[in-house]
A and B are shown apart, each in its own frame.
Chain A
Amino acid sequence: MTNQSDLFKYLLHLGDNALIHSYRLSELCSRGPFLEEDLALTNIALDQIGRASSFLKYAGEIEGKGRTEDDLAYKRGERQFYNHLITELPNGDFAYTIAKQLILSTYDVLLFTELSNSKDETIAGISSKVLKEVRYHFVHARDWCYRLGLGTELSHTKLQNAINEIWMFTGELFESDETYNDLYSKGIAVNTNSLKAKWLENITEVLTKSEINIPNVDYMQSGGKQGIHTEYLGHLLTEMQYLQRAYPNAKW
């Protein structure tokens, strides 16, 4: 028997990553560099909202207290969110978005490849669907890295700067968490530490082809998985949860 509260927290982690990432991508609606790209980025946002919904819904079922995916999205405080810090960083320029997309989609492809074989059937089911989506997200980010990296001097500089700035948020993706040892050993969750080498290999390939260097970063940021966030998350939740909090008795 697995510890249900560990599984609950793990599902929140998976759901929150998608939920918070989708928020930042949704902010880009009507702000794309051209209309087709506006659509591409918000398509990714839509996929992530769907993913968040599925994992949070399942989290509510595992918790068994009758909380819905909306209760979990709209009525938790910042210390109960377990997403990676990188997902909550405010949007910068387009290069910043693409750098973030490359880092996360490369990670997601590896993670959901593993999770689609999870011993938990629901996780496996959601993850196989997600895997199809994140493969597209990766191709989208990779192709833009080529364009920006090899396009103009300006675009190259911007992409290099973005990678430099964000890199310190990549360490957290691969931290193993002993809370989940039991879930790891049962083949339900994935210890992402085991994905790190492959991730670095895959992302290095894209960045090298784009003539972008991987920066040397001595210290990595972390805390998201423990609910210790950047200052940005509170503002994000304030906006996202506004209606639910202001009108607690209303159904929408």
Chain B
Amino acid sequence: MNVAAIENDFQQKIDKDLFIEPKDAMPDKYREHLIRQISQHAHSEVIGMQPEGNWINRAPSLRAKQILLAKIQDEAGHGLYLYSAAETLNISREELIAQLHSGKAKYSNIFNYPALTWADIGAIGWLVDGAAIVNQVSLQRTSYGPYARAMFRICKEESFHQRQGYEIMAHMMNGTAEQKEMAQDAMNRWWWPSLMMFGPHDSDSPNSGNAFKWKIKRKGNDELRQKFIDKTVQQAEVIGLTVPDPDLKWNDEKQCYDYGEIDWDEFNKVISGNGPCNKQRINHHIKYHNEGAWVREAALAYSQKIQPNAI
């Protein structure tokens, strides 16, 4: 088959809402797009372990510590599902990690913000995982089979993450004056970066055309962001948190919230590597990956001694 025939065949499958599987022929651009997106997603799960990991040993109760550690482990597990999905596109985990370290591959901007107080652990679970869920639910119907299936497994675990974060916030809003202040402060710092997680306005996303045509993406950034805002504002009200947006107001006609303008300068600053923790996060990953090299080599050498014929 020539290239045009392959692409035609491929697009017909997409148009019929069939999943594309690893052995199916696919345009190079589709493969590249997926590698970029899935690896970014995998790296986000893994880098996200750092801000939360920062609080495991300061968790204020044994139960809170267990929940937090189990939650971070889930994220590591999500990273594994996603690396496996990416590997079906003929790229190795080593290569994916090398791309992360060189800056070729990205991870979610949100993890370039610091987790400063215990309330941040609440805010991350509630807002950051809450935003991620909205995006991931829509990706369960993405066109690449392994990615869609990874999303399905991940979504099952994510709702617990959001609940545990919300529970921390609710507890603190029920507590002492200092706790309430801490919770509101975390809300103030995490709200806008959470909205930025959905990316630029659709009118400013020049490259999403193919993603829609190939059904990698099925919903626009603004639609997903709106969904997140609508469900989260009410949750904030229930526990007495103020959303730090003076322009936020219910729009009766549209049956959704209107909200203020996102600070895109800030977004661009962080995305271009100048957020508060960009260097810290990537240096941490590089450091421990490099320190682990001799361990990986030992494991490999040992397995070759035990089973000399295995690759």
Contact = CB atoms under 8 A, between A and B. Distances in A.
- Report whether chain A binds chain B: yes
Interface of A: 23, 26-27, 29-39, 42-43, 45-46, 49-50, 52-53, 56, 69-70, 73-74, 93-94, 146-148, 150-152, 154-155, 158, 239-240, 242-244, 247, 249-252
Given A29-B72, A50-B66, 20 more contacts: A27-B56, A29-B53, A30-B53, A35-B46, A37-B295, A38-B76, A42-B69, A46-B69, A49-B66, A52-B62, A53-B63, A147-B299, A150-B305, A151-B301, A155-B294, A155-B297, A155-B301, A239-B58, A251-B175, A252-B175
Nearest to B46: A35
A247 B56 contact: no
Interface string B154-183: 000000000000001001100110110000
Contacts of A242: 58
Contact of A23 (B57, B292, B296, B300): B57
- Identify which of A30, A74, A148, A240 gathers the most chain B CB atoms within 10 Å of its CB: A30
Given A152-B301, A251-B171, A243 B76 contact: no
Contacts of A244: 60
A26 B302 contact: no
B265 interface: no
A26 B118 CA distance: 17
B65 interface: yes
B77 interface: yes
B150 to A, nearest CB: 15
Interface string B278-311: 0000001000100111111111111101000000
A27 B72 CA distance: 13
B80 interface: yes
Contacts of A34: 292, 295-296
B196 to A, nearest CB: 23
B79 interface: yes
Contact of B56 (A29, A69, A151): A29
A154 B72 contact: no
A210 to B, nearest CB: 10
Given A35-B80, A247-B178, A154 B298 contact: yes
A233 to B, nearest CB: 13
A33 B296 contact: yes
B138 interface: no
Contacts of A250: 60, 175-176, 178-179
B268 to A, nearest CB: 27
Nearest to B297: A152
B294 A152 contact: yes
Contact of A252 (B57, B80, B171): B171
A32 B50 CA distance: 12
Nearest to A57: B62
B98 interface: no
Contact of B297 (A26, A70, A151, A243): A151
B64 interface: yes
Interface in B28-61: 46, 49-50, 53, 56-61
Contact of B62 (A33, A36, A45, A69): A69
11 contacts: A29-B53, A32-B288, A33-B288, A39-B73, A39-B77, A46-B69, A49-B65, A146-B302, A155-B295, A243-B58, A252-B61
Nearest to A151: B298
B70 interface: yes
Given A30-B49, A42-B69, A49-B65, A239 B57 contact: yes
In this complex, the member of A45, A49, A53, A151 whose beta carbon has the largest number of chain B beta carbons within 10 angstroms is A151
B298 A155 contact: yes
Contacts of A73: 62
A230 to B, nearest CB: 17
Nearest to B77: A39
